[in-house]
């Protein structure tokens, strides 16, 4: 995943009305399955009057994606699967989409429900702004005090972010890098310190 993948850059909510039923769709960022379920619970609590809270999520991307969905009381296969199908075709990861349906007595039929939930998801995605998530790695760097300033400058030069430092007999630096930047950093680090300091993968 050298170039990362697209993720929601914001929360977006859209609404469509089909034969007196309101379909209120919300898209949110969900970087973990636990976060997706937490955000779903929040949406349910905010919209208790909705008859159904149909959802689908995709956490991760490509070969490491985890998916979930639910018809939430709609006829089997008419709500969750078409919603997930739209997400799969979007090219977006770490995404939760929830459609709250407010039913007004007019039945749509199985085909009508599939079209309604598909249209609801598509409309929300059209309004969604995205950004690119870049794969990052966390590494530990143990070094003598004499190399600390050199390593700090190299971390800055390779766009690394220092997350923690411990000063004992030697210095331990915890830093986070974009994966591509880390590869270049590791090569230069080995050369500049004659192999005395090597990054240890902490992920």
**Phi and psi of 66, rounded to 5°?**
-115, 130
The pLDDT of residue 3: 61
Instruction: Write the pLDDT tens digit of every residue in 138-196.
Output: 999 999 999 999 999 999 999 899 989 999 999 999 999 988 889 999 999 999 999 99
d(CA 54, CA 71): 5
Is residue 176 within 8 A of residue 138, CB to CB? The reply is: yes
The 10 Å Cβ neighbour count of residue 190 is 14
Is residue 53 within 8 A of residue 43, CB to CB? The reply is: yes
State pTM to two decimals: 0.68
Token digits for 4?
């990362």
Name the stretches of the chain with pLDDT < 50: 1-2
Cβ-count burial 138-170 (b if 16+ within 10 Å, e if not) = bbebbbeeebbeebbebbeebebeeeeeeeeee
Is residue 142 within 8 A of residue 193, CB to CB? The reply is: no
The pLDDT of residue 2: 47
**H or E element at residue 52:** strand 52-59
């Amino acid at each position: 995943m050298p170039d990362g993948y697209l993720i929601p850059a914001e929360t977006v909510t859209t609404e469509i009305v089909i034969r007196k039923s309101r379909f209120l769709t919300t898209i949110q960022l969900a970087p973990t399955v636990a976060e997706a379920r937490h955000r779903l619970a929040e949406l349910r609590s905010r919209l208790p009057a909705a008859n159904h809270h149909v959802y689908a999520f995709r956490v991760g991307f490509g070969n490491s994606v985890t998916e979930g969905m639910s018809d939430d009381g709609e006829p089997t296969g008419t709500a969750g699967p078409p919603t997930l199908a739209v997400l799969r075709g979007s090219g977006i990861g770490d995404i939760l989409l929830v459609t709250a349906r407010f039913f007004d007595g007019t039945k749509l039929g199985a085909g009508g429900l599939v079209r309604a939930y598909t249209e609801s998801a598509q409309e929300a995605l059209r309004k969604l702004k995205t950004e690119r998530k870049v794969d990052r790695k966390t590494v530990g760097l143990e070094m003598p005090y004499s190399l600390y300033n050199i390593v700090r400058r190299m971390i800055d030069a390779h766009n690394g972010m220092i997350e923690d430092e411990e000063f004992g007999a030697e210095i331990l630096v915890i830093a986070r890098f974009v994966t591509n930047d880390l590869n270049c950093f590791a090569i230069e680090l080995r050369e500049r310190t004659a192999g005395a300091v090597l990054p240890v993968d902490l992920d």
